Homo-oligomer: A and B are copies of this chain.
């Protein structure tokens, strides 16, 4: 096992990783910007290293500074959490070259799954159905139009280096293609420094279901259930629940098998999840693979009792997985993301209280007095409810949200409460367009 892990992240995920380190008896080094010196993650770690000025590019994303912090403090591994450097192949490679273990999959897995068209090809070759679309990244509109005509409208134009719902443009017909193309291209350029795009058939009324897995160094893949993340706003997951309900007979197994095929095809190792679009009739299509611990990792954790972050560290340390002989999924879990409403400027937290009690798991690094920068609509807290049945879990989560106090910051709490009280959601699964079409009514 490692002796000291540098956590290259901040906020609730940094705390999450810190807990796993503590349980494993591993020392922790936190990094922070000049603005974060007194943030919770910096205060709670065994050591704290300020790696640069406030701008993320100058601090948390400053690879040499982060690596230098790890080396000068004698850390032997780096945990990227999620977001920031988590899926950055160059960072992972730089870690390895500096003799630091990168806690996550191999560099090649990050590169390969980060190149979405390439990932599509490999997974398709492995025998998993992917949506009709462009086999290669596209540089110009004409090529995009050709592919779109071939697969048929509506289509999604996606940034080749994108993911997580960013860098997406929808074209319902040929007239809309140019605009969609521009969106994907510019967002891809801005967010990922890559302006290549690809085109994919756009499915309406489909569910977004992802399968959680973890694989050890010997590529033994363990499946930890699936979750339905169809409640989305602007393609951002708002509510995730597991297990996915009302699946056609045998579909759960088929999804697990497909996820295993995708992971095995690249010899995947460590924690990851495979995203699928599932049509009402049960046909399903690979979208992409997330090569990291996900924001929603708590859902499989409470359902299976497996500590995914701890297991991920174990795998990276070359240890065997300590999973139960038979992983069984118990009860039903629903988690929602409480975000700040994106707007200009910042807001100071005046009062803060996270709900507790039976079956509730709330995670946040927010503190009274914190100034939240609203522009990006950052994640403020995650609240999860676990119960024997879906109905109980829903009631429990609704109750928990009435107890969540975040005074001073505009949040999406009201929207979440409306969504969770919606009879359509209570009745059963919804599709990825549900929330927005619903709100539109």
Chain A residues packing against B (C-beta within 8 Å)? 12, 15-16, 18-19, 22-23, 25, 40, 43-44, 298, 301-302, 305, 307, 309-310, 324, 331, 351-365, 367-369, 388, 392, 395-396, 398-400, 402-403, 405
Contacts and interface: CB of A to CB of B under 8 A. Distances in A.
Nearest to A349: B368
B358 A307 contact: yes
Contacts of A352: 367-368
A331 B304 CA distance: 13
Contact of A40 (B12, B359, B367, B405): B405
Closest 3 CB pairs of A and B: A22-B399, A368-B368, A356-B363
B364 A19 contact: no
Contact of A351 (B23, B361, B367, B388): B367
Nearest to A362: B356
A369 B367 CA distance: 12
A15 B398 contact: no
Given A22-B398, A399-B23, A402-B22, A364 B368 contact: no
B399 A15 contact: no
Contacts of A354: 354, 356
A402 B301 contact: no
Nearest to A397: B23
Nearest to A401: B22
Nearest to A358: B307
Identical copies in the complex: 2
A79 B58 CA distance: 55
Contacts of A25: 395
A355 B19 contact: yes
Given A22-B402, A388-B305, A403-B44, A367 B396 contact: no
By CB atoms of chain B within 10 A, which of A12, A310, A361, A364 has the most?
A361
A359 to B, nearest CB: 8
Contacts of A307: 358-359
B23 A396 contact: yes
A352 B396 CA distance: 25
A358 B402 contact: no
A46 to B, nearest CB: 9
Contact of A19 (B23, B298, B324, B400): B400
A33 to B, nearest CB: 20
A23 B387 CA distance: 12
A395 B357 contact: no
A427 B302 CA distance: 28
A315 to B, nearest CB: 17
A363 B364 CA distance: 15
Contacts of A399: 19, 22-23
A382 B359 CA distance: 15
A363 B357 contact: yes
By CB atoms of chain B within 10 A, which of A302, A307, A405 has the most?
A307
A167 to B, nearest CB: 31
A356 B361 contact: yes
A217 B306 CA distance: 39
Contacts of A309: 358
A329 to B, nearest CB: 14
Nearest to A383: B356
A352 B349 CA distance: 13
A352 B25 CA distance: 25
19 contacts: A15-B357, A15-B403, A19-B400, A19-B403, A23-B392, A23-B395, A23-B399, A44-B405, A305-B331, A351-B367, A351-B368, A353-B365, A353-B367, A354-B356, A356-B361, A356-B364, A358-B361, A367-B368, A368-B368
Contacts of A402: 22, 44
A385 to B, nearest CB: 10
Nearest to A12: B356
A271 B399 CA distance: 22
A351 B356 CA distance: 18
A413 to B, nearest CB: 14
A355 B403 CA distance: 17
Contacts of A400: 19
Nearest to A369: B368
